[in-house]
Structure 1
Amino acid sequence: METPYPIPPSLLPLLAALIWYCWILRARKSPTHLPPGPKGLPWIGNAFQMPTNNPWFTYNAWAKSHGPIMHVSVFGQSMIILNSAKVVRDLLDRRSANYSDRPDLYFGGEVVGYKYALPLCAYGDFFRQQRKLSTGIMGSKSTMQWQSLEEKNIKTFLLKLLKKPESFREDIHPTIASITFAVTHGYIVQKENDPFIPIGKKANADFAQCVIPGAYLCDSLPILQYIPKWMMGAKFRREAKEFRHSAEQIRDVPYDFVKAEVARGTAKASFTASLIQREQNLTAEKDFLYKWTSASIFGAATDTTVAALESFFFAMSLYPEVQVKAQEELDRVVGMERLPSFEDRSNLLYVNALLSEVHRWNPVLPLAIAHRAMEDDTYMGFLIPKGAIMVPNSWAILHNQSIYPDPMTFNPERFLNNTDAQPEINPDPRKFAFGYGRRVCPGKDLADDILFISIAMVLTAFDIRGPKGTGDAEIRCTSSLLSRPPPFECEISPRSDIVEALIRRSTEEQ
């Protein structure tokens, strides 16, 4: 006898659970006067309309029809998308007391365990303790102590570019990771086959994937945690073991290394060592706090800096005229007899403007990590319900024509022509690139320092040339939490025999 069901019988329990869950949500009284947004379907809302690739482009397009503050719903979960600088400033900065929490991401937070990492940590005592510890090492004054370390590692990167320029992209991550591991754990990365580098790289990639709002259906439907692993829709349960392992490795392995070094009396100066050494009797609670804080600092400072440096190389391959102007300034200020240092920064106005444009043109976090409304609120006559996920579209702000004229073009000079009469035109993009309110990235000064010295040294030493691209077109980058340039080729060659000898000599002297 032919079955009357058009779907596989194995999916019937999942379908029944979904219908029951949606019916419960429907029974709740829906809030009125929500911000406008695309029309959804009964029960499931906008679930089938949510973009999976480059969502910041879609949200920006929706804003043209619905305005700078929009509401969408996914299986009853409200999401408020913020597409303008004013809305972000009014809510996340000025009303930060209500919007400093993070959403409950079931997969990335609960299953994988990142709910204890600083970027995802709920607003409370554990968050405040981590924040206080991290700002002690990551503040603008504190980061100066790491500048000589940064200069040393970037000189080593220059030597790698000299020897094997075609591998520039593969060499960026170990270079930045070597700096951040030294800062956070006092660990000196080995030249080849270092065991810590793959641990950091895997954990960063997994984190970026598992914390994207909407990436896992179980975040909107926690009831899926009860379905068997073999059923369709349970892929997240099969991935959980792998992701959790990488999270535990980046949390425990570098920390345990430092702990053993401290016990032997051989630990190098670092953030983690300073935490352990100041405790006479390290409790399990403090041990847990210190592990997550040091791991969070490493992760936050590494992958975002790597992505930004990749964008720099990409921009230089598309805009050679920008590169020429920066090199002219470097030759004038620094000369060809040495490499630039942090002492030159105040005199390198164009190079600083170029760095600002890197932050603006392809922001590392196009959608800032989502916030959560802790209580009901009203804004512009609209209700923002308690528990709503707040999604700041930083890309839309940094590419708003009225704020940044000709936004798709990479143009550092926009930051040199600012006038006090128009402070709202071409503001510092760091205000939007590193998060908002009480969730601003604590590692922004360290990341900015690393990027500055990297850009200054690379442009002093090398010419970057690439195939002609569509510089004025939308740059469709990767679509995880971080935005990275697509695969691209470029030729990297030393600017002269003099600079080639300078690179070799500077690394030999280290």
Structure 2
Amino acid sequence: MGTYINSFAILAIGALLYAINRRRKPSLPLPPGPKGLPLVGNLFQVPSEFEWIKYHEWSTELKTGILHLQMAGTHIIVLDNYEVAMDLLESRSSIYSGRPRLVMMIELMGWGFNFGFVDYGDFWRKHRRLAHQSLQATAIKQYRPHLALATRKLLKHLLDDRDDGKLIPHLRQLTAETILSVAYGIQVQEENDPYVELAEAANQGAIIATVPGRFLVEAIPILKYVPAWFPGASFKRKAREWYKLTRMMVEVPYADAKKRIESGNSAVSVLLTNLQKIEAGVKDDAFTEDVLRNTVGALYAAGSDTTVSAMVTCILGLLEHPEILKRAQEQIDAVVKPGHLPDLDDEPSLPYVTAIAKEALRWRDVLPLGVPHALSADDEYKGYRLPAGAIILANGWAMLHDESIYANPFEFNPDRFIDPETGKIDYSRARDPEHACFGFGRRICPGRFMAFESLWLGIASLIATFNIEKPKEKVTLSSVCSMGTYIDFLAILATGALLYTINRRRKASLPLPPGPKGLPLVGNLFQIPAELQWMKYHEWSTELNTDILHLQATRKLLKRLLDDREDGNLIPHLRQLTAETILSVAYGMQIQEENDPYIKLSEDGNRGSIIAAVPGRFFVEFIPILKYVPAWFPGASFKRKAREWYKMTRAMVEVPYADAKGRIVGIIYFSPLASGVSSTYIAFSQQSGDSTVSILRTNLQKIEAGEQDDALTEDVLRNTLAVLYAGGSDTSVSTMTSCVLALLEHPEILKKAQMQIDSVVKPGHLPDLDDEPSLPYITAIVKEALRWRDVAPFGVPHALSTEDEYNGYRLPAGAIIIANQWAMLHDENVYADPFEFNPDRFINPETGKIDYSRARDPAHACFGFGRRICPGRFIAFESMWLTIASLIATFDIEKAKEKVTLPSGEEVERTVELTHEYEAALVVMAKPFRCVFKPRSEAKAELVRASALQDQDSLH
């Protein structure tokens, strides 16, 4: 035992010395950051889009330039300040140049050739050295003819297609041609170029592979050793297909270009230049054919989205500021000889064009968070501990919108870089945005010089030759809406169906309905776009052949808009209107103007369901048996969170029901859950007495009268009201917001509607629902708003419970049924010019009445089908009709104005144009926009004030 005792003694002494040392030198704290949850940390606090804005908000609140987040055990360090980024990523680049591990992309798909993604080490150094020498500022001058030729072709395309608006495809062609010619000396075809298509196909796999959470092998790397035939290992089979494309992308253009070089039929290129150095015997281990093949492959794969994005941003800035375009044209005209186009030799003489290009890079940063770095060793900075393995994010967006560096940072203003006395570039006035755009330290983009020259030449040439103007036609639905959550939902359902059917015996049967040809095993999973899927489904199909309660809420809305007519903050007012309608109709409750406890309870109750409904968020969805794991078990934080959310859900069901029932029966009634939730939520329960007419009161009376119907029980009633309460109002708000957008774009429709209301509604009165038959044009406007911007383009999916047959096709049991409502509501055979907002499509021109034989009533396609049709459709339509009629009757609705200062110092007023941008999950919602509500007359204003003060006795 002597050896054992000695070993034990040594361990004990070591532990003692370690403890003493730790006591003497206590561990430094991590950088400040938002407080997270146990185990998962800040995982659920980071938004799924525009994260950089949230990071900056946290940094500002905590007054720190370096922010720490912890996401399920992974440390994230966000550098929100330029000086901090320079201190760490530049001055300490030897330990800040790593990359996070990418199992699927690097280890299984073969993207390890691309030094931009691999970890810091000898492989990276050799490839980076060759790329740096090939693309440094002096070396790229020999490739300028390639840039000039691609730019001239762009100008020709735009001249030939000047009115088609296809700017981005032309810009993509420009940058693809630039990259292929510089890397390999290959000239691309005008259309359907095989090398462009090969890069797109290979990159598509990389894009899918880098979606966080898409492949479990990223979280459990040992799964990469699972054989491809193993059930559930479809990721291995997919990786094998993508690996082939990756290797083709690296090998095929290299072999073709090398063959051209050997035959003496090749232009100067990175490949040609370096092959000559290799043949000349240059003494550098970076100069080998393997390194060269990988490096030019990385350039080829890099694509061109960053350059395209910067050029599009620049054009947007010039469209909004025609005075900048004019000034740049004047400078070019004064410098460039007549009959010539600007070239890169003119850059020193055209500082204003350089300032425009720099401002385009700064104003709308292409990569707001850059590419993540990884910290390879523990570090200390300004008293904070930075742990090895942490992912480092440089918040370029925050650096490029720092008000202390760039005055009015959200304005497109190239003059910030120009010295007003000399007219030259002066970065002492505003910092050069290069670092925050192209990266830091040893990971700075090696192609930045060529990228900027290509951007500069493209912008200068466009400015020199074209006047760039906004289109004259009306804006149609090119909404910026995201359905990423929904496509993930479909992917999970499709995967589940695949696993179910993989072992099912095939039998002779009718064919399935036609559809696009898919891939083995995964079918059409990767063909469905992440946005606007309903449009893609429609393309494939084409290719394959309670009145008083309403009045009370509406009058309050009119009063709020009258008080806040200039703020343009429409959506919160509409949300208040619909929340008041729902609570009053369901429970007979009148809500507070601000901070209503029942609205807060609904929001809190819904918050958990929003998180829980995100596909892939909780592993228990894939392995349901995990729901039996005890809450104390390591990794079972989902059980503890569910327990908290369960309390909120039950409170949302019980508390308003108990309060409203107490009012009806005239007693104070407390829910057993109420005391455990929040005293705020039971504030109204201290009152008792009468209640207004409501669904609750009506059905309680039926239950008490002993009506014989098993649906008339208190449990069913309580749950049904809670569904209405929790359902909220986004659908109604979305339709009314779209209607206001349309009226702003079509003031003639607003005027025509006002004329009809004035001829029907008595002076001194507001329209009510009894007026609807006499106001068909208002009805047509509401119907058109429902059709024009369909609130739920896919509705809610149905499921087929038994196998069925239709028109000779077999529809298998368990299939997910999606009604593409967007396609139905934009069918040109039913609705002429379907993207135009035109209420007259529903009006008979002879009678002036609604006539659905002219254009089909959109009700079904909006509110659903069959037994799943929305039961609240009638109240929803009445609420929308009354609100829109009341707004039209009382207000002129106009676009907002803003004051701007021209470079000359003159202050002018201009109209704020509408963007028609939408965001969505299952419900498409317009992004906030500004507008002005002006009372049509002082008499209308007084009518609004008077109606808001009317006695509520009629509600009882």
Normalising by structure 1, what TM-score?
0.78
Q: Match of 2:468, SS?
A: strand
Number of the residue aligned with 1:44: 40
Give 1:249 shift: 3.1
Count of equivalent residues: 444
> Structure 1 residues 232 and 464 mapped into 2: Cα distance closer, same or farther (>3 Å)?
farther
Q: Match of 1:154, SS?
A: helix
2:469 aligned with 1:465: yes
- Please show how residues 12-411 of structure 1 align to structure 2 within 5 Å: 33-66=29-62, 67-165=64-162, 166-204=165-203, 206-207=205-206, 210-211=209-210, 218-222=217-221, 240-241=239-240, 243-279=242-278, 286-300=288-302, 302-334=304-336, 336-411=338-413
AA aligned to 1:397 is M
Q: Aligned partners of 1:157, 1:84: CA distance in 2, in Å?
A: 38
Q: Is this contact kept in 2: 1:54–1:478, CA < 8 A?
A: no
Q: Match of 1:390, SS?
A: strand
RMSD of the TM alignment (CA)? 3.5
AA aligned to 1:198 is E
Give 1:303 shift: 3.1
Q: Is this contact kept in 1: 2:184–2:257, CA < 8 A?
A: yes
Number of the residue aligned with 2:816: none
Tell which deviates more after alignment, 100-109 or 440-449: 100-109
Q: Is this contact kept in 2: 1:54–1:477, CA < 8 A?
A: no
Q: Is this contact kept in 1: 2:417–2:429, CA < 8 A?
A: no
Q: Match of 1:325, SS?
A: helix
The one of 437, 442, 447 equivalent to 2:441 is 437
Tell which deviates more after alignment, 367-376 or 228-237: 228-237
Q: Is this contact kept in 2: 1:204–1:299, CA < 8 A?
A: yes
Q: Is this contact kept in 2: 1:101–1:372, CA < 8 A?
A: yes
AA aligned to 2:432 is D
AA aligned to 2:375 is A
AA aligned to 1:326 is A
AA aligned to 2:73 is G
Structure 2 unpaired stretches of 5+:
1-26, 473-479, 485-530, 533-956
Give 1:103 shift: 1.5
Q: Aligned partners of 1:258, 1:327: CA distance in 2, in Å?
A: 39
Number of the residue aligned with 2:893: none
> Structure 1 residues 382 and 239 mapped into 2: Cα distance closer, same or farther (>3 Å)?
farther
Q: Is this contact kept in 2: 1:360–1:398, CA < 8 A?
A: yes
Q: Aligned partners of 1:424, 1:203: CA distance in 2, in Å?
A: 43
> Structure 1 residues 335 and 264 mapped into 2: Cα distance closer, same or farther (>3 Å)?
closer
Q: Aligned partners of 1:37, 1:393: CA distance in 2, in Å?
A: 15
Q: Aligned partners of 2:49, 2:161: CA distance in 1, in Å?
A: 33
Give 1:314 shift: 2.3
Number of the residue aligned with 1:454: 458
> Structure 1 residues 92 and 277 mapped into 2: Cα distance closer, same or farther (>3 Å)?
same
> Structure 1 residues 239 and 355 mapped into 2: Cα distance closer, same or farther (>3 Å)?
farther
Q: Is this contact kept in 1: 2:99–2:119, CA < 8 A?
A: yes
Normalising by structure 2, what TM-score?
0.43
Q: Match of 1:104, SS?
A: coil
Q: Aligned partners of 1:390, 1:37: CA distance in 2, in Å?
A: 14
Identical aligned pairs, as a percentage? 34
> Structure 1 residues 289 and 64 mapped into 2: Cα distance closer, same or farther (>3 Å)?
same
2:423 aligned with 1:427: no
Q: Aligned partners of 1:418, 1:215: CA distance in 2, in Å?
A: 52
Q: Is this contact kept in 2: 1:200–1:299, CA < 8 A?
A: yes
CA displacement, residues 203-239 of structure 1 (integer Å, 9 cap, x when unaligned): 4555456457777665455366578999999886676
Tell which deviates more after alignment, 247-256 or 451-460: 247-256
Give 1:302 shift: 3.0
Q: Is this contact kept in 2: 1:53–1:479, CA < 8 A?
A: no
> Structure 1 residues 107 and 55 mapped into 2: Cα distance closer, same or farther (>3 Å)?
farther
Structure whose CA Rg is larger = 2
Q: Is this contact kept in 1: 2:310–2:361, CA < 8 A?
A: yes
Give 1:201 shift: 3.3
AA aligned to 1:93 is E
> Structure 1 residues 221 and 463 mapped into 2: Cα distance closer, same or farther (>3 Å)?
farther
AA aligned to 1:190 is Q
CA displacement, residues 231-270 of structure 1 (integer Å, 9 cap, x when unaligned): 9998866764565444333222211212333454544432
Q: Is this contact kept in 2: 1:376–1:383, CA < 8 A?
A: yes
> Structure 1 residues 263 and 299 mapped into 2: Cα distance closer, same or farther (>3 Å)?
same
AA aligned to 1:389 is I
> Structure 1 residues 346 and 220 mapped into 2: Cα distance closer, same or farther (>3 Å)?
same
> Structure 1 residues 170 and 301 mapped into 2: Cα distance closer, same or farther (>3 Å)?
closer
> Structure 1 residues 231 and 341 mapped into 2: Cα distance closer, same or farther (>3 Å)?
same
Number of the residue aligned with 1:416: 418
Q: Match of 1:81, SS?
A: strand
Q: Aligned partners of 1:425, 1:216: CA distance in 2, in Å?
A: 47
Structure 1 unpaired stretches of 5+:
1-30, 469-475, 481-485, 488-510
> Structure 1 residues 61 and 428 mapped into 2: Cα distance closer, same or farther (>3 Å)?
same
Q: Aligned partners of 1:48, 1:369: CA distance in 2, in Å?
A: 22
Q: Aligned partners of 2:334, 2:280: CA distance in 1, in Å?
A: 55
> Structure 1 residues 249 and 47 mapped into 2: Cα distance closer, same or farther (>3 Å)?
farther
Q: Match of 2:75, SS?
A: strand
> Structure 1 residues 174 and 408 mapped into 2: Cα distance closer, same or farther (>3 Å)?
same
Q: Aligned partners of 2:483, 2:427: CA distance in 1, in Å?
A: 32
Q: Aligned partners of 2:232, 2:75: CA distance in 1, in Å?
A: 22
Number of the residue aligned with 1:27: none
Give 1:97 shift: 1.2
AA aligned to 2:332 is L
Q: Aligned partners of 1:294, 1:164: CA distance in 2, in Å?
A: 33
AA aligned to 1:61 is E
AA aligned to 1:342 is L
Q: Aligned partners of 1:479, 1:281: CA distance in 2, in Å?
A: 55
CA displacement, residues 311-364 of structure 1 (integer Å, 9 cap, x when unaligned): 222222222222122112112222553211222211111111001101101122
Give 1:466 shift: 2.2
AA aligned to 2:445 is C
Q: Is this contact kept in 2: 1:68–1:87, CA < 8 A?
A: yes
Q: Aligned partners of 1:61, 1:229: CA distance in 2, in Å?
A: 45
